[in-house]
A = this chain, B = another copy of it.
């Protein structure tokens, strides 16, 4: 075998507001690699097969801003990075065998030489797949998005049977899982999304009340169907204000994301005073700090639930390194349903 192209998705320029196709990200094919002969120096040659595209990546396209907790962002001229799955092509360490699939935070490119599993931002892990599920699942329902829903719900919701939860972006990769977890626990689920197709999907997952936030006032629906005990916030802004207004005493707000401020100025919160009188606790979170506490129980239980069809999920597949930009833009314009995954 001779040299092949090692394509890379480079971060080209910091977007002002929206991502600009062809300008923010570019696919570079100037590098090559010889998979049979490339020097490994005791390490592992990986061929990347699956990449995950997630909303947090938009945040990493901003300039670093330590005051916002944003220490590391993408560097112009370098490959962007995110979660992915790679197959072991050659190895000079017995940490892995040829054909193993490893999961970790990796640069978005075709091939990668890793000094060892511990070399990542967080250590790479060899995936088990005893139910022989598609590898794409391991960046979605069995990866970041499934884990975000499962772990944050466990850590923060304090859910009790008979309570009411409001889930925003309920057709998204995280929201769709939250709906199902809440229904299994006997809660009433109110869920919002922005298209008729998404409303049907949320209904099929068991949501009791679904509505299109583009055509229906959130405050009106929550006023009629609330009060809400738990708010799963993927959007912030006016929707968060409506949730504060409709919250029950001792409500829990799980702050997963603020799509309302995606790439623009955040919408100011007007109803914060409700948090005091109603003894609301508001949990801002990212997955990393709570992950270790729930990792084992997640991998012990979820693959079987997914294999049995007890947890449903959708994938939105894109193909090739060119698909990365399409996946990111789909978040921006709201056209995605389910987990955005790139298959290389």
Taking Cβ atoms with an 8 Å cutoff, the residues of A that contact B are 59, 67-70, 223, 236, 240, 245-246, 249-250, 255-258, 261, 266, 268-286, 289
- Smallest CB separation, A293 vs chain B (Å): 14
- Report the 5 A-B pairs with minimum CB-CB distance, sorted nearest first: A275-B284, A268-B268, A69-B277, A282-B282, A69-B278
A272 in contact with B276 (CB, 8 Å) = no
Determine the main DSSP class of A at the interface with B. Answer: mixed
B276 in contact with A258 (CB, 8 Å) = yes
Q: A258-B272, A261-B273, A266-B270 are in contact. Are A289 and B69 (CB under 8 A)?
A: no
A40 CA / B265 CA spacing, docked (Å): 64
What residues of chain B lie closer than 8 Å to A59, measured between beta carbons?
A: 277
B286 in contact with A68 (CB, 8 Å) = no
How many chain copies?
2
B272 in contact with A240 (CB, 8 Å) = yes
What residues of chain B lie closer than 8 Å to A289, measured between beta carbons?
A: 250, 279
Query: What residue of chain B has the Cβ atom nearest to residue A278's Cβ?
Result: B69
A250-B289, A280-B284 are known contacts; what are 16 more A-B pairs with Cβ within 8 Å? Answer: A67-B223, A68-B278, A69-B249, A69-B278, A255-B275, A257-B276, A258-B273, A266-B273, A268-B268, A268-B269, A275-B282, A276-B285, A276-B286, A277-B286, A279-B286, A281-B283
Q: A67-B246, A278-B284 are in contact. Are A272 and B269 (CB under 8 A)?
A: yes
Q: A69-B249, A249-B69, A284-B282 are in contact. Are A272 and B266 (CB under 8 A)?
A: yes
What residues of chain B lie closer than 8 Å to A286, measured between beta carbons?
A: 276-277, 279
Question: Which of B223, B270, B274, B284 touches A276 (beta carbons < 8 Å)?
Answer: B284
A68 CA / B279 CA spacing, docked (Å): 11
A255 in contact with B276 (CB, 8 Å) = yes
A273 in contact with B68 (CB, 8 Å) = yes
Question: Which of B68, B255, B279 touches A285 (beta carbons < 8 Å)?
Answer: B279
What residues of chain B lie closer than 8 Å to A245, measured between beta carbons?
A: 67-68
Name 5 A/B residue pairs within 8 A (Cβ), A-sorted: A67-B245, A68-B273, A255-B275, A257-B276, A282-B282
What residues of chain B lie closer than 8 Å to A68, measured between beta carbons?
A: 245, 273-274, 277-278
What residues of chain B lie closer than 8 Å to A284, measured between beta carbons?
A: 274-282
A272 CA / B265 CA spacing, docked (Å): 11
A128 CA / B268 CA spacing, docked (Å): 48
What residues of chain B lie closer than 8 Å to A279, measured between beta carbons?
A: 284-286, 289
From A68, A245, A266, A286, residue with most partner B Cβ within 10 Å: A68
A191 CA / B245 CA spacing, docked (Å): 31
- Smallest CB separation, A321 vs chain B (Å): 28
What residues of chain B lie closer than 8 Å to A285, measured between beta carbons?
A: 276, 279
Query: What residue of chain B has the Cβ atom nearest to residue A275's Cβ?
Result: B284
Query: What residue of chain B has the Cβ atom nearest to residue A251's Cβ?
Result: B284
B277 in contact with A70 (CB, 8 Å) = yes
Query: What residue of chain B has the Cβ atom nearest to residue A266's Cβ?
Result: B273
A68 CA / B248 CA spacing, docked (Å): 9
A298 CA / B282 CA spacing, docked (Å): 27
What residues of chain B lie closer than 8 Å to A223, measured between beta carbons?
A: 67
- Smallest CB separation, A262 vs chain B (Å): 10
A270 in contact with B273 (CB, 8 Å) = no
What residues of chain B lie closer than 8 Å to A268, measured between beta carbons?
A: 268-270
